[in-house]
């Protein structure tokens, strides 16, 4: 049976969250479990944890939220001193069990490997074709790469690492006594193009790698008896780890009994995703030294300067619009209020509502506080407009609840280009900013579409200034179409690029 799409499945799809811990004497599975809870916002389709006890690697993973996948019983089976964790939102490969992470491979010469990936490669087909056409080039058996075994770029990376670890040539090179997996990574990572933050492990070592552009965040933390890796600093906080530093773009880390080893596999060309500051990251995280919450409040202040309006109350679209709404109130002098209540128990996936309930649309997730907004001229602050479904329904609901005027303010520039580096934006034709052009201009077309009294987006210059990062170190492709990592032909991009490929 075909059901109508949820009218609120409107925000950009999150990416993934990765976590890693090396801590003899600690319950690394439970540390990973709580670390993944802190990263749950980055992906709600699947979750998994892999643990090594020094002789074997066990993996538990499934579709669903972290709290659904794991319980005391499953965590008790994961004993060891090294672990990696992953929560997934699919950017390559369908949201099916086979594509849940961590992915796992055996190494023919002995041992195993498990890997988690946040990001998205743009040369996935090229890697697959190279391995198929010339197995000796990457030391990969192409028979292992077909529609049954590879559905994601993450799976391909793990398979390539496992095969390259068997390359006898690596044993002849002087690489400072590094492990076979470490040697293989130093050969493979420079050939990957796109966004990748990796945590992976063999029986004795925890590894992390970040792409040369540093598109996605990844940081290192210190426990009393070990080390932690995480996509965001909030995950360090929840397990009691102190922040040490960000993993540098183009850096490979290896953590074992000898401590932390750092190796550069590529020259850094920093292009951190500016959308992390707008929507993706938790507000209590710090990215590139800048508090995400502070950046969002500053975005709101600048938004008030760029798009002032005479109004009675500033309200956020919770939760991601809240810091910017606070900043807008501070910058404008208009009182801040909580005019919408969010149902925290309606997530990305829930039981399909009946047609009657579906027609209520936005009320499944948000409900107006009538006594707060009745008779008011409202400024409604949201993080972004993608398709416009949420804002259109929200404006209508607020007017029905008694708002006299509804002025929409957006804490990001218009989204006009898709992301190929780990965020699942709709196609270009589905983005409202590309479909509302008219004789009065794009912004007026969007305003009319969502039926707001006025509409204002922060400028790209204002957004960049709020991050306190130079424009040269940020990826802003979704706003201006300037892609810092060269893209292949359109046919080599997309979620299903690997599905149906046969070696």
CA atoms of 174 and 182, how far apart (whole Å): 13
Q: Rg of the Cα trace of the chain?
A: 23
pLDDT > 60? residue 145: no
Same structural domain, 124 and 189: yes
Q: Is 62 annotated as a binding residue?
A: no
Same structural domain, 245 and 311: no
- State the total domains in the chain: 2
Which residue among the candidates 16, 112, 197, 219 is catalytic per the annotation?
16
Return the pLDDT at 78.
96
Residue 459 · residue 400 · CB < 8 Å:
no
Mean pLDDT of 364-392: 93
Same structural domain, 197 and 333: no
Instruction: Please check whether residue 82 lies inside any domain of the structure.
Output: yes
Q: State both tokens at 473.
A: 């170190």
**Longest pairwise C-alpha distance within the chain:** 78
Return the pLDDT at 146.
39
Return the pLDDT at 357.
65
Distances (CA, A) of 79 to 49, 54, 76, 211: 11, 10, 7, 31
**Among 11-20, 35-44, 159-168, 383-392, the least confident range:** 11-20
Same structural domain, 216 and 320: no
Summary mean pLDDT of the chain: 87
Q: What is the pLDDT of residues 308-336, one digit of tens each?
A: 999 999 999 998 899 999 999 999 999 99
Q: Which helix (DSSP H) or strand (DSSP E) does residue 316 occupy? A: strand 313-316
Q: Is 158 annotated as a binding residue?
A: no
pLDDT > 80? residue 349: no
CA atoms of 387 and 435, how far apart (whole Å): 9
Q: Is 419 annotated as a binding residue?
A: yes
Q: Where are the beta strands (DSSP E) in 77-157?
A: 82-88, 103-106, 112-121
Same structural domain, 385 and 250: no
Instruction: Please check whether residue 115 lies inside any domain of the structure.
Output: yes
**146-155: b (≥16 Cβ within 10 Å) or e:** eeeebbbbbb
pLDDT > 50? residue 152: yes
Instruction: Please check whether residue 500 lies inside any domain of the structure.
Output: no
Q: State both tokens at 132.
A: 């198929």
**96-135: b (≥16 Cβ within 10 Å) or e:** eeebbbbbbbebeeebbbbbbbbbbbbbbbebbebbbeeb
Report phi then psi at 96, rounded to 5: -120, 165
CA atoms of 70 and 35, how far apart (whole Å): 13
Same structural domain, 56 and 177: yes
**211-234: b (≥16 Cβ within 10 Å) or e:** bbbbbbbbbbbebeebbbbbbbbb
Return the pLDDT at 134.
43
Q: Is 219 annotated as a binding residue?
A: no
Q: What is the pLDDT of residues 71-111, one digit of tens each?
A: 999 999 999 999 999 998 765 556 677 778 999 999 988 89
**Among 83-92, 94-103, 139-148, 296-305, the least confident range:** 139-148
pLDDT > 90? residue 433: no
Instruction: Please check whether residue 10 lies inside any domain of the structure.
Output: no
Q: What percent of the chain has pLDDT over 90?
A: 68
Residue linked to tokens 């070696």: 503
CA atoms of 138 and 487, how far apart (whole Å): 22
Same structural domain, 130 and 196: yes
Q: What DSSP letter does each residue of 249-262 carry, written as one string? A: TTEEEEEETTEEEE
Same structural domain, 385 and 254: no
* 40-54, 337-351, 361-375 — most confident range: 40-54
pLDDT band at 147 (very low <50, low <70, confident <90, very high): very low
What single DSSP character describes residue 428? Answer: G
CA atoms of 43 and 424, how far apart (whole Å): 11
Same structural domain, 113 and 191: yes
Instruction: Please check whether residue 440 lies inside any domain of the structure.
Output: yes
Count of C-beta atoms within a 10 Å radius of residue 472? 10
Q: What is the pLDDT of residues 114-133, one digit of tens each?
A: 999 999 999 988 888 866 65
Exposed (0-12), middle (13-18) or buried (19+): which is 358, by Cβ within 10 Å? middle
Distances (CA, A) of 441 to 347, 426, 458, 474, 477: 35, 22, 17, 27, 21
Higher-scoring residue by pLDDT: 139, 499: 499
Residue 377 · residue 310 · CB < 8 Å:
yes
CB contact set of 198 (below 8 Å; sequence gap of 6+): 18, 115, 116, 117, 118, 157, 207, 208, 209, 210
Count of C-beta atoms within a 10 Å radius of residue 429? 7
CATH number at residue 303: 3.40.50.2020
Q: Is 87 annotated as a binding residue?
A: no
**393-412: b (≥16 Cβ within 10 Å) or e:** bbbebbbebebebbbbbbbb
Count of C-beta atoms within a 10 Å radius of residue 25? 10
Report phi then psi at 361, rounded to 5: 55, -110
Instruction: Please check whether residue 460 lies inside any domain of the structure.
Output: yes
Same structural domain, 171 and 244: yes
CA atoms of 418 and 415, how far apart (whole Å): 8
Mean pLDDT of 137-164: 65
Rounding to the nearest 10 degrees, give the CA dihedral for residues 282, 94, 182, 128.
-140
CA atoms of 285 and 283, how far apart (whole Å): 5
**379-391: b (≥16 Cβ within 10 Å) or e:** bbbbbbbbbbbbb
Same structural domain, 223 and 303: no
Is 16 assigned a catalytic role? yes
Q: State both tokens at 51.
A: 């643990």
Domain range holding 35?
17-271
CA atoms of 296 and 303, how far apart (whole Å): 10
Q: What DSSP letter does each residue of 429-494 carry, written as one string? A: GG-HHHH---TT-HHHHHHHHHT-SEEEE--HHHHHHHHTS-GGGEE-HHHH---SS----GGG-S
Mean pLDDT of 436-440: 62
CA atoms of 448 and 444, how far apart (whole Å): 6
Mean pLDDT of 136-155: 52
Instruction: Please check whether residue 408 lies inside any domain of the structure.
Output: yes
Instruction: Please check whether residue 488 lies inside any domain of the structure.
Output: no
CATH number at residue 70: 3.60.20.10
CA atoms of 21 and 228, how far apart (whole Å): 4
Same structural domain, 233 and 324: no
């Amino acid at each position: 049976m075909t059901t109508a799409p949820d009218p609120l499945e409107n925000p950009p799809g999150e990416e993934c969250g990765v976590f890693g811990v090396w801590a003899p004497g600690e319950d690394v599975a439970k540390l990973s479990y709580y670390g993944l809870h802190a990263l749950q916002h980055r992906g709600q389709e699947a979750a998994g944890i892999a643990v090594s006890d020094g002789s074997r690697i066990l993996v538990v993973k499934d579709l669903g939220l972290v709290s659904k996948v794991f319980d005391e019983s499953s965590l008790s089976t994961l004993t060891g001193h090294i672990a990696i964790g992953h929560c997934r939102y699919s950017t390559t490969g369908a949201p099916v069990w086979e594509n849940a992470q961590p992915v796992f491979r055996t190494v023919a010469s002995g041992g195993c490997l498990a890997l988690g990936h946040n990001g998205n490669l743009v040369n996935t087909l090229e890697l697959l074709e190279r391995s198929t056409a010339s197995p000796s080039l990457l030391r990969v058996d192409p028979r292992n790469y077909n529609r049954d075994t590879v559905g994601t770029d993450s799976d391909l990376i793990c398979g390539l690492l496992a095969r390259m670890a068997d390359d006898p040539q690596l044993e002849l090179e002087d690489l400072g006594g590094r492990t076979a997996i470490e040697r293989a990574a130093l050969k493979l990572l420079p050939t990957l193009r796109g966004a990748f933050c990796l945590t992976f492990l063999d029986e004795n070592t925890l590894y992390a790698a970040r792409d040369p552009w540093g598109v996605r965040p990844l940081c290192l933390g210190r426990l009393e008896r070990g080390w932690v890796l995480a996509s965001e600093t909030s995950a360090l906080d929840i397990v009691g780890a102190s922040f040490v530093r960000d993993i540098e773009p183009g850096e490979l880390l290896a953590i074992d009994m000898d401590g932390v080893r750092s190796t550069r596999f590529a020259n850094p060309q920093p292009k951190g995703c500016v959308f992390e500051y707008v929507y993706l990251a938790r507000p209590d995280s710090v990215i590139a030294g800048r508090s995400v919450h502070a950046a969002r409040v500053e975005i709101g202040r600048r938004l008030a300067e760029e798009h002032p309006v005479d109004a009675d109350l500033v309200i956020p679209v919770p939760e991601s619009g809240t810091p910017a709404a606070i900043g807008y109130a501070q910058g404008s002098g208009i009182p801040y209020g909580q005019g919408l209540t969010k149902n925290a128990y309606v997530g990305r996936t829930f039981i399909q509502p009946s047609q009657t309930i579906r027609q209520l649309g936005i009320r499944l997730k948000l409900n107006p506080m009538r006594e707060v907004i009745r008779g008011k001229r409202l400024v409604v602050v949201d993080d972004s407009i993608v398709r416009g479904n949420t804002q259109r329904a929200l404006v209508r609901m607020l007017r029905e609840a008694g708002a006299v005027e509804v002025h929409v303010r957006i804490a990001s520039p218009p989204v006009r280009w898709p992301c190929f580096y780990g965020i699942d934006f709709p196609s270009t034709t589905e983005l409202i900013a590309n479909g509302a052009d008219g004789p009065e201009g794009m912004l007026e077309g969007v305003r009319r579409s969502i039926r707001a009294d006025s509409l204002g987006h922060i400028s790209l210059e204002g957004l960049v200034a709020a991050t306190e990062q130079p424009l040269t170190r940020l990826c802003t492709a979704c706003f201006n179409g300037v892609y810092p990592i060269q893209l292949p032909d359109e046919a080599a991009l997309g979620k299903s690029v690997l599905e149906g490929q046969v070696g």
